[in-house]
Amino acid sequence: MKFVHTMFITGILGTAVLSMSSVQGDPLPYKPPIPADNPQTVAKIELGKTLFFDPRLSSTGTVSCNSCHNVMAGGEDNRPNSMGVHGKTGGRSAPTVWNSAFLTVQFWDGRAPSLEAQAKGPVTNPIEMGMKDWDTVIQRLEKISGYEPLFQAAFSGPNPITADNAAKAIAAYERTLITHGSPYDRFQRGEETALTEQQVEGLETFIKIGCFACHYGPNFSGPSMQNQMGKGWFQKFPTIPGSPYETQYKLLDDKGRYEVTGEEMDKHVWRVPTLRNVALTAPYFHNGAVPTLEEAVRVMAKTQLGRDLKDSDVQNLVAFLNALTGEFPKQTMPLLPATPGKSMTAE
């Protein structure tokens, strides 16, 4: 946690320009936290990838996990809100699946304590994948003969085709979706020229004005250590009320975590999202109402820090945020198991 430490010192001293050494933070770890009850195996990851890309996990056979969390496109769908079965849309924007293994809780409102718990949600959400219930999902998977050996290889014991195992496999695949090698990571691993001067200035501004207070840690989403998993890292948004952005971007229409807990203190409270690959995940915020990263930076500065940023600060911050775009490992496409001679979806 050198990063936070340095920053607090910086804040106290009010230093305007930081030296290279003082912006030292943590690069993304090579491995994410792995739950003790769901170890990574090749067979499980392969099954998980297959399920992740299989549109038959939706009632219409048209929506897979990848439809909204598109691993080929920054890990989400670049839409204000996602489009589920029958063209239905909800009020929230799909978060990226890349590096989600480093988030301590899942969903915008943090209602899932793990990737395993998250994986079960969208499948039976009527406006997302629209399956009636997980029993129906399992019945469908059981009818696809090619899934049996994949589940057998990934999980021991009789009747391995279960909702828990499907969720475990999907989570195991998602834990492989990590982007290393961003300019920021290379910088933090000692390659001092990996960031441009403007990006370093942006990083300094990011620290100085206080963005780091929430977006810290190697995933820029708060604590991501093993012992924090499931606990979450939340912030109120907007923190400072009364900005014109509230009505312009309908920031108060959704009560966030309050919808889960019913606690007054959770009104408009949200999980702090990662900033990794943020340049690839427009439009922004829980409702996807803000179309550009520039504007997102202005909105954050105003609503969270009470600042009206200069244009140059916005440009520098955006340049820095672009330095958080990592390298996306090449992946092979799964071959979805068939149901020879039969169709599966009726809707």
Residues recognised as catalytic:
128
One of 15, 60, 125, 239 touching a second copy (CB under 8 A): 60
Q: Are 303 and 240 in contact (CB under 8 A)?
A: yes
Least Å distance, CB 288 to a second copy, is 8
Across the strands, what pairs with 112? 106
Work out which of 288, 299, 313, 320 binds a second copy, going by CB under 8 A.
Answer: 288
Site pattern 250..279 for a second copy (x: CB under 8 A): -----------------------------x
Instruction: Map the footprint of a second copy across residues 114-133, applying CB under 8 A.
Output: none
267 DSSP assignment? T
Instruction: Single out the residue of 292, 306, 310, 312 in contact with a second copy (rule: CB under 8 A).
Output: 292
User: DSSP string spanning 120-182?
Assistant: HTGGG-TTTT--S-HHHHHHHHHHSTTHHHHHHHHS-SS----HHHHHHHHHHHHTT---B--
Residue 145 touching a second copy (CB under 8 A): no
Q: How far is CA 92 from CA 78, 157, 253, in A?
A: 12, 39, 11
67 is a site residue for a second copy (CB under 8 A):
yes
CA 6 to chain centroid, in Å, comes to 26
DSSP 286: T
State the maximum Cα–Cα separation within the chain, in Å, rounded to a whole number. 72
Among 25, 32, 55, 160, binds a second copy (CB under 8 A): 55
> Residue count at the site for a second copy (CB under 8 A)?
51
User: Least distance (Å) from a second copy to the CB of residue 101?
Assistant: 19
Residue corresponding to tokens 């994410």: 32
- Which SS3 state, helix, strand or coil, does residue 235 take? strand
11 binds a second copy (CB under 8 A): no
Binding site for a second copy (CB under 8 A): 53-56, 60-62, 67, 70-74, 77-80, 83, 85-88, 279-280, 282-283, 288, 291-294, 318, 321-322, 325, 328, 330-336, 338-345
